[in-house]
């Protein structure tokens, strides 16, 4: 539910609305031919893609095709100095800039608007691993490096970078930090923000924030690193980061279990936490329909009973060799005795572990084969996830009879990907036209249950209006003040977040 509008709260919201109106409609200019030429000279003609060039396509469309924008110029700088000069020129000209790295975002934050007046600043050429300090457990990489490449560089020195997600082969470090991405290891290692020690970023006017510290402790003033992480390119363009590395576990045990109902999720999670402690590194849940979609379209073997009401993927990691499997087997044995699960399988090899993960990794992709999908990335108190799933299903049926909820997610951190596929045989466009009323109803439920309308995907363009409905008005006012201070001309990712 939206916050109650008491007299004081209403006044606050009016003030915030006025400030937001200014932010949403900045006095920006379309780039002149002279500016386009100047930007092209900064990066060189080979790295500047003008409107009409087919090479622009991959920068203007997000993978679900929900947002398709236009731009007079895509610039691909190769250094922080070039990023700084681009922003200096655009700041002086009051021309909007949309930062982008891997273009894997799911809320439209990395896509320019359809008007075709914003410059796209792609960081896909900034792919250097600048430094690896194995003794200090840190690595410094540029924004265009993929998460998979960062992980590989960490493995080369016997360490691990824990930020991991299904799209890590294409998702880049800069975008992942700009959205404070979550992924598959949040339960044990936290979101992207928790895995960063230092940030290098370019501000709207071209000044470079050189915060690439590797210090574990630094209390000298405001934490500007955490301010930039999660700001979605609206406060500065992240060009590099120093990230934490960790020692890899000596043993990893993976299991796949089926449950008689969603009601067993929380008791099973509590049991796993009690038995494994901090060694519980993954607890992923998948609904019956989600598993059925994988079985139908995923071209992978589905472990367990595909018709089970709920499936769970558990992972236990230990610092001791050959310790993970006894722990996970003890969890499953007690869960069977208590009737929390109906069946379980423990991976006996690395190949079997990978096979157990594949259905979970394909959850989003397989839904494309079932027509239109309305997606929600929400978080709730862990104890209330089963209640949410039951109440949300009733809302879906009310908004669109016959629509098919396909929930799955990271139960350990309360993150539910509450996706809804169109009714069988329905018109896709007509179904997707219900996106706003469907999301408004789901978000009302989430807020009323003490949850968040954005768990790990950010706000971008998709949830901007919802943010204004649900965010505390004082928090919104503070956000607007920060934006005004760091980007007075409003050129950084205009129309996103605020």
Domain co-membership, 48 together with 146:
no
At 36, which CATH number?
3.30.43.10
Domain co-membership, 155 together with 118:
no
In a domain, 466, yes or no: no
Asked which of 181, 212, 244 is the last residue of a domain, the reply is: 244
With H, G, I as helix, E, B as strand and everything else as coil, classify residue 491.
Answer: coil
Gap between the Cα atoms of 223 and 106, Å rounded: 27
In a domain, 234, yes or no: yes
The two tokens of residue 490 are 């409003």
3-state SS, 334-398, equals HHHHCCCCCEEEECCCHHHHHHHHHHHHCHHHHHHHHCCEECCEEECCHHHHHHHHHHHHHHHHH
Domain co-membership, 319 together with 257:
yes
Domain co-membership, 287 together with 337:
yes
How many CB atoms sit inside 10 A of residue 369's CB?
11
In a domain, 462, yes or no: no
At 339, which CATH number?
3.30.70.2190
- Domain range spanning residue 265? 251-364
In a domain, 464, yes or no: no
Number of structural domains found in the chain: 4
At 409, which CATH number?
3.30.70.2740
At 133, which CATH number?
3.30.465.10
Which pLDDT does position 300 carry in this prediction? 86
Domain co-membership, 141 together with 102:
no
Which pLDDT does position 25 carry in this prediction? 56
Domain co-membership, 379 together with 449:
yes
In a domain, 478, yes or no: no
Angle at which helices 385-399 and 265-276 pack, to 10 degrees? 150
In a domain, 471, yes or no: no
In a domain, 472, yes or no: no
Domain co-membership, 166 together with 90:
no
Averaged over successive runs of 10 residues, the pLDDT of the chain (498 residues) comes to 42 59 70 98 98 96 90 98 98 98 93 97 98 98 98 98 92 96 92 96 98 92 95 98 97 97 96 96 96 92 87 96 95 97 96 93 91 96 97 98 97 96 97 97 98 95 94 95 96 96
Which pLDDT does position 13 carry in this prediction? 57
Domain co-membership, 138 together with 234:
yes
From 411, 150, 458, 463, select the one nearest 272 (Cα to Cα): 411
Q: What is the DSSP letter of 420?
A: E
Domain co-membership, 119 together with 133:
no
Asked which of 345, 364, 383 is the last residue of a domain, the reply is: 364
Domain co-membership, 17 together with 73:
yes
**Contact criterion met (CB below 8 Å) for 442 and 457:** no
Domain co-membership, 189 together with 284:
no
Domain co-membership, 261 together with 196:
no
**Contact criterion met (CB below 8 Å) for 414 and 187:** no
- DSSP string of 63-123, one letter each residue: TTSS-B---SEEE--SSHHHHHHHHHHHHHHT--EEEESS---SSSTTS--TTS-SEEEE-
| C-alpha separations of 415 from 141, 151, 176, 422 in Å | 28, 24, 17, 22
Asked which of 244, 279, 306 is the last residue of a domain, the reply is: 244
The two tokens of residue 377 are 């990335």
Which pLDDT does position 198 carry in this prediction? 97
Is beta strand 237-244 parallel, antiparallel or unpaired with respect to 138-142? antiparallel
Please give the backbone phi and psi of residue 313, each rounded to the nearest 5 degrees, phi first: -110, 120
pTM: 0.91
In a domain, 492, yes or no: no
């Amino acid at each position: 539910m939206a916050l109650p509008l008491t007299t004081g709260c209403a006044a606050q919201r009016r003030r915030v609305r006025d400030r937001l109106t200014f932010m949403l409609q900045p006095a920006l200019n379309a780039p002149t031919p002279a500016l386009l030429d100047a930007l092209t000279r900064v990066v060189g003609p080979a790295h500047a893609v003008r409107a009409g060039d087919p090479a622009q396509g991959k920068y203007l469309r997000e993978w679900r095709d929900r947002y398709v924008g236009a731009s007079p110029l895509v610039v691909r700088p190769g250094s922080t100095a070039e990023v700084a000069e681009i922003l200096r020129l655009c700041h002086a000209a009051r021309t909007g800039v949309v930062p982008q790295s891997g273009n894997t975002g799911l809320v439209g934050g990395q896509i320019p608007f359809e008007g075709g007046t914003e410059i796209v600043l792609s960081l896909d050429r900034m792919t250097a691993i600048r430094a690896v300090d194995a003794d200090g457990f840190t690595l410094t990489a540029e924004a265009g490096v993929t998460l998979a490449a960062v992980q590989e560089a960490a493995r080369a020195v016997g360490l691990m970078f824990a930020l991991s997600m299904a799209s890590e082969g294409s998702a880049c470090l800069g975008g992942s930090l700009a959205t404070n991405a979550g992924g598959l290891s949040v339960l044990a290692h936290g979101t992207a923000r928790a895995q960063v020690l230092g940030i290098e970023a370019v501000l709207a006017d071209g000044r470079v924030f050189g915060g690439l510290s590797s210090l574990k402790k630094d209390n000298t003033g405001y934490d500007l690193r955490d301010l930039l992480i999660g700001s979605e390119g609206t406060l500065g363009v992240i060009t590099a980061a120093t990230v934490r590395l960790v020692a890899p576990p000596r043993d990893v045990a993976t299991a796949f279990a089926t449950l008689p109902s969603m009601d067993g999720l929380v008791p099973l999670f509590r049991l796993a936490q009690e038995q494994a402690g901090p060694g519980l590194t993954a607890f992923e849940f998948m609904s019956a329909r989600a598993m059925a979609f994988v079985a139908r379209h995923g071209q992978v073997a589905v472990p367990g009973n595909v018709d089970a009401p709920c499936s769970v993927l558990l992972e236990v990691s230990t610092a001791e060799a050959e310790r993970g499997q006894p722990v996970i087997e003890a969890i499953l044995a007690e869960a069977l005795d208590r009737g929390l699960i109906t069946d379980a399988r423990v991976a006996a090899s690395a190949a079997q572990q990978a096979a157990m993960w594949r259905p979970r990794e394909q959850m989003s992709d397989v839904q494309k084969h079932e027509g239109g999908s309305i997606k929600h990335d929400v978080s709730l108190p862990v104890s209330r996830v089963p209640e949410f799933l039951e109440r949300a299903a009733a809302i879906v049926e009310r908004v669109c009879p016959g629509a098919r909820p396909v929930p799955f997610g990271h139960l350990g951190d309360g993150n539910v990907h509450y996706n809804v596929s169109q009714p069988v045989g329905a018109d896709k466009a007509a179904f997707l036209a219900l996106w706003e009323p469907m999301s408004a109803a789901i978000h009302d439920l989430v807020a009323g249950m003490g949850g968040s309308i954005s768990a790990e995907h950010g706000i971008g363009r998709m949830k901007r209006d919802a943010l204004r409905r649900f965010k505390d008005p004082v928090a919104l006012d503070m956000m607007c003040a920060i934006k005004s201070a760091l980007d007075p001309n409003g050129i950084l990712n205009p129309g996103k977040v605020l």
